[in-house]
Amino acid sequence: MRDVVLVGGGVMGCLSALELLQAGCRVTLLERGELGREASWAGGGIVSPLYPWRYCDAVSALSDWSQGYYPALAEALLEQTGLDPEVHSCGLLWLDHDEQELALSWAGAHAKPLRSVDADFIYQQVPQLAAGFRGALWQLGLANVRNPRLMQSLRARLVQFDEFTLHEHCAVESLLRDGDAVLGVDCAVGRIEADAVVLCAGAWSGDWLAQVGLNLPVEPVKGQMLLYKMAPGWLPSIVMAQGRYAIPRRDGHILIGSTLEYEGYDKRTTEQALASLQASAEALLPALAAQAPVAQWAGLRPGSPDGVPYIGPLSAMPGLWLNTGHFRNGLVLAPASCRLLTDLMLGRTPDIDPAPYLPDTRLN
Ligand SMILES: Cc1cc2nc3c(=O)[nH]c(=O)nc-3n(C[C@H](O)[C@H](O)[C@H](O)COP(=O)(O)OP(=O)(O)OC[C@H]3O[C@@H](n4cnc5c(N)ncnc54)[C@H](O)[C@@H]3O)c2cc1C
């Protein structure tokens, strides 16, 4: 495998490109808009599923691997590009703890430093928290990554490779084919032949594959977020209650998220979500009531059944590969997913068992 075309320049496209380049491939990345400006920019960047114990082992396996890898990835990118993805190991407090037993047994099985804490601990850890919380689950060191910075540093790293070609504002509409075999793509810059084409088109992947007659259950799921600005360190840790969270960046920005809306490709922000997210912000951190949010935005997650991504080849169309459908967890799952994809493409023995993610057995 030498020449690879990647369709879609989110975190999956960019990290897959990096893995493939580092393994000696020649990579062309085609992005319909600007690199890294869709879900991978819009997300919160928590380096964990929101309630990790609710997910199946397939999601945990990718998440565990990636959590171990993120600090080294960020360090390498900072050194190579001067742009810091800002992995912030601030810990996370789950304030609604009615799943304590399940969570602690999951943590034991996955060797996570998750523990049950009382009110004294909670208010010592996060003094700004609203009154009335009596207990929580706490995971020391759980991180968030500043995903827009991650995407900027990935871009800066990719363009350092001579074997890398990037075309932005270049939507891929059709495949070059010989019967079922995929030989490349046809796009705005012309015909590009390749040994393999990888679809990493996020929320658009399902409709994209429908054009070639394959039924991949990946659909857009809108998420809206609010951004506040406080002093650096004002919020020491991520806090979560009732499915909503507040994420501190190192510079004092605080993200409040998120909604979960099935609205097709409509990415507009709404007054209703603004009000609902403001209410969640104030219920967690009452001081935010006196602050106006500095931004509101929406992104489209690549929704998939149970959040289990599709990673691997499609034998119905030899030469076509998938790395998509990461739903709410694409930022945390990206490093492991892209390493697994590369291992499979290059015939290397993967660190992670590929079986749960292989598309062939899971297409409708
Ligand atoms: C509000 C919100 C909060 C989130 N919070 C978190 C979190 O805290 N932690 C976490 O791990 N995950 C989080 N996520 C999920 C995460 O952001 C996504 O799972 C991840 O970014 C998906 O990456 P991707 O590369 O598959 O998709 P995208 O980033 O959407 O990239 C796909 C790219 O493909 C391009 N494309 C589409 N069609 C074509 C075509 N035909 N030709 C060329 N290019 C094309 C698009 O323009 C886009 O740039 C969140 C998402 C949202 C929206």
83: helix, coil or strand?
coil
Higher pLDDT, 239 or 1: 239
Which domains can be identified in the chain, with CATH numbers? 3-62+148-218+305-361 (3.50.50.60), 92-140+219-303 (3.30.9.10)
**pLDDT at position 96, please?**
74
Give the atom of ligand 1 at the shortest distance from the alpha carbon of 222: 53
Instruction: Please say if the pLDDT value at position 346 is more than 80.
Output: yes
Closest ligand 1 atom to residue 170 Cα is 43
For 86-123, how does the pLDDT look when each residue is reduced to its tens digit (9 = 90+)? 999 999 999 977 899 999 999 999 999 999 999 999 99
Would you say the CB of residue 208 lies under 6 angstroms from ligand 1? yes
- Mean pLDDT (the chain) is 97
Mean pLDDT is lowest, of 91-105, 198-212, 222-236, for 91-105
- Percent of the chain scored above 70 by pLDDT? 100
pLDDT at 97: 73
Residue nearest ligand 1's atom 52 by CA:
43
Instruction: Tell the residue nearest (CA) to atom 35 of ligand 1.
Output: 8
pLDDT at residue 10 greater than cutoff 80: yes
Stretch 132-140: mean pLDDT: 96
CA of 15 to the centre of ligand 1 (A): 12
| Residue 364, pLDDT score | 65
Gyration radius of the chain's alpha carbons: 20
Confidence class for position 304, pLDDT limits 50, 70, 90: very high
Check the CA dihedral 65-251-14-22 and report its sign. Answer: negative
Q: Whose CA is nearest to atom 15 of ligand 1?
A: 328
Tell me if 323 sits within 8 A of 16, measured CB to CB: yes
pLDDT at residue 234 is higher than 80: yes
For ligand 1, mutation pick of 222, 328, 333 (most atoms within 8 Å of CB): 328
Ligand 1 centroid from CA 327, angstroms: 8
Task: State which of 32, 146, 152 you would mutate to test the pocket of ligand 1, scoring each by most atoms of that ligand within 8 A of its C-beta.
Answer: 32
Cα 356 to averaged position of ligand 1 atoms, centre (Å): 21
d(CA 86, CA 107): 26
- When pLDDT is cut at 50, 70 and 90, the band that residue 339 belongs to is very high
Residue-level pLDDT at 194:
98
pLDDT at 98: 86
Q: Please report, for residues 21, 44, 56, 156, the alpha-carbon distance to residue 159 in angstroms, rounded to integers and kept in the order given.
A: 11, 25, 36, 6
Q: With a 6 A CB cut-off, is 329 part of the ligand 1 pocket?
A: yes
- Could you report the per-residue pLDDT of 159-203, keeping only the tens digit for each? 999 999 999 999 998 999 999 999 999 999 999 999 999 999 999
